[in-house]
Homo-oligomer: A and B are copies of this chain.
Amino acid sequence: MKALVYNSSPQSNRRTSPGSPHRPLVVMKFGGTSVANVERISEVARMALESQQAGNDVVLVVSAMSGETNRLLKLAHEVVAVPDTRELDAIAATGEQVSAALTALAISRHGGKGRSFLGHQVRIVTDDAFTKARIHSIEHEVLHEALAARIIPVVAGFQGVDSQNHITTLGRGGSDTTAVALAAALGADECEIYTDVDGVYTADPNICPSARQIPSLGFEEMLELAALGAKVLQSRSVEIAMKYKVPVHVRSTFSGKPGTWVIDKSRGLESHRVTGLAVDRRQTRVQLVAAENRSGLLGEVLGLLAELNMSVDMVTHSVLPHEPSRASVAFSMPTSEVHRAQTRLEQLGEEVKAQQVVLENNLAKVSLVGLGIRSDPQVSATACRVLNQEGIALVSVAAGELRVSCLVQDGQADKALNLLHDAFELGAENGDQPVEQRRVSNAGL
């Protein structure tokens, strides 16, 4: 295992005593598989101490031991089918509380000084949107005090408190957000996200055998990939990294290899055409057919969806060819949210006087992401042509600043992904050396 690379950051807002030598500050985040049992927790402690001994100040952020969050949520759902979200968060937050304290113990076991910190102890203040809260502020004085005493703070990921001191959680993958937000608040030099894969890939290697690991990509590209289904980082964490320019290094806990750097590329140092592909399955397309084509129809629909906190995408608005007083609005959303929204979607249909509300399930969104898409209008044309040639029907296509998304039948998504990966030459682009690209197998560890 190599000592951590130290990247000097000009934006550093760290508090250092006058005259004291600057020690690089690194936030290291470990996911559930990295703290799955006592042996792995011990390894995490060893890595943190190694980084400290190499001259870094180290702050750890840990997820719950893998499987623990699901076990806890299952208990809650055994009590009541639709649990109150405040209590759900109080229950779920215990997973990280335990793993943080165990990791602190493991650091002592290895001869260092570790101390666990919960959301309310740091304190990480969020809004009160239980189960998907957003961080408002981080009061990190206690962490600086710990660092000054050469203690490695182990912060429980995923959790915070709202202004009323209720425990909140940040949603699945929320520990990434805890780590990046802490790195931003502390003015850390980098945020290392340790996970069970080697980094970010051009496509999911389980689906696309020729997928390559991406050595580095821009915040905006990573944000698109995360939003479009790449599971490697929570979107919110990338937003924060982008806003505060926190260099993020996504890498494997187990392999010791360099991973993928997510960094500021806004100044156009590189210009790939397409950087990577993402697939988001279990999508439903909702069509409000032949609504009254009044002015502001689209704004009205989007406003109501935003009120419901629905994450919709691929919105289209089309006037009916032979009936200009009527228009259809369609959008995609995760199928898992449709059940919750169904009644409200039907009301929405009535409000805009739609003749029909049509739901189409079993779709998948296959997306191309890259800084180069911004300057190349041909990307979406090429994507459509490639898929059409191979007989893959496009339910809908949407192009954005940095991405092109294609809604296809779920059963055709894997084929579409591989076709696009080949068409945009992601397997061996720009003469890069092909890197070993298999996922690290958990079984082999």
Contacts and interface: CB of A to CB of B under 8 A. Distances in A.
A106 B93 CA distance: 19
A91 B83 contact: no
A158 to B, nearest CB: 14
B105 A76 contact: yes
A169 interface: no
A98 B94 contact: yes
Nearest to A117: B90
A108 B84 contact: yes
B80 A108 contact: yes
Nearest to A79: B105
A84 B4 CA distance: 28
A98 B109 contact: no
B94 A75 contact: no
A101 B91 contact: yes
Chain A: interface secondary structure? Answer: helix
A210 interface: no
A98 B106 contact: no
Residue of A90, A102, A120, A167 contacting most chain B CB atoms (<10 Å): A90
Contact of A75 (B38, B72, B78, B167): B38
Given A83-B105, A105-B83, A105-B84, A90 B76 contact: no
Contact of A97 (B79, B90, B105, B114): B90
A365 interface: no
A93 B118 CA distance: 12
A114 B121 CA distance: 25
Q: How many copies does the complex hold?
A: 2
Interface in A185-209: none
Nearest to A37: B78
A293 interface: no
A132 interface: no
A100 B105 contact: no
A41 interface: yes
B84 A102 contact: no
A87 B116 contact: yes
A109 B79 contact: yes
A203 to B, nearest CB: 38
A171 B106 CA distance: 23
Residue of A42, A72, A78 contacting most chain B CB atoms (<10 Å): A78
A106 B79 contact: yes
A439 interface: no
Contacts of A78: 38
A65 to B, nearest CB: 9
A102 B115 contact: no
Contacts of A105: 76, 79-80, 83-84, 87
A404 to B, nearest CB: 44
Interface in A153-175: 165-167
A118 B90 CA distance: 9
B80 A109 contact: yes
A104 interface: yes
Interface in A220-234: none
A184 to B, nearest CB: 23
Given A90-B101, A90-B118, A97-B90, A42 B72 contact: no
B121 A165 contact: yes
A194 to B, nearest CB: 19
Given A88-B101, A91-B98, 15 more contacts: A72-B98, A75-B98, A75-B102, A80-B105, A80-B106, A80-B109, A84-B104, A87-B105, A87-B114, A90-B100, A90-B101, A91-B101, A93-B97, A94-B98, A121-B166
Interface of A: 38, 41-42, 72, 75-76, 78-80, 83-84, 86-88, 90-91, 93-94, 97-98, 100-102, 104-106, 108-109, 114-116, 118, 120-121, 165-167
